[in-house]
Amino acid sequence: MRRLFALLLLMQAFNLSPASAKAQLVEVIVTDPFLEMHSGPGRGYPVVYVVGRDDSVTVLFSRTEWYKVRASRGQEGWVRRADLARTSSARTRRCARS
């Protein structure tokens, strides 16, 4: 049920108008032992960073079944929707677009 809730929050976060000055970003906590971030939106891209359990990632946007995320230390990469759905808590926060 938590996975479904987290996935629904992610999907809702991407239905925002691009004209708004601020965007809502979703921050999720990794509950698996790790979350692999790839350099591109596909399994053929190499893993560039691994996020550990209890660390957070911020979802930036999606492309097909992949989400571009930013780790708490600033690294960016792509994660599969199925992997991201295995996160426990989601927090929505407002951030200024750059």
Residue 92 has pLDDT above 60, yes or no: no
pTM of the model: 0.69
* SS3 at position 65: coil
Give the model confidence (pLDDT) of 60-89 as tens digits.
Answer: 988 889 999 999 999 999 999 998 887 766
Q: From the CB of residue 59, how many other CB atoms can be counted at a distance below 10 Å?
A: 21
Please state, in angstroms and as integers, the Cα–Cα distance from residue 86 to each residue in 3, 4, 23, 44, following that order: 6, 9, 24, 21
Average pLDDT over residues 38-64: 93
pLDDT (average), residues 6-18? 54
Domain locations in the chain as residue ranges: 2-96
Is the CATH code 2.40.170.20 the one for domain 2-96?
no
Structure tokens that stand for 35 in this block: 């979350």
Tell me which of 86 and 41 has the higher pLDDT: 41
How far, in Å, are 1, 7, 77, 79 from residue 41 at the CA level?
A: 26, 18, 8, 7
H/E stretch holding 47? strand 47-52
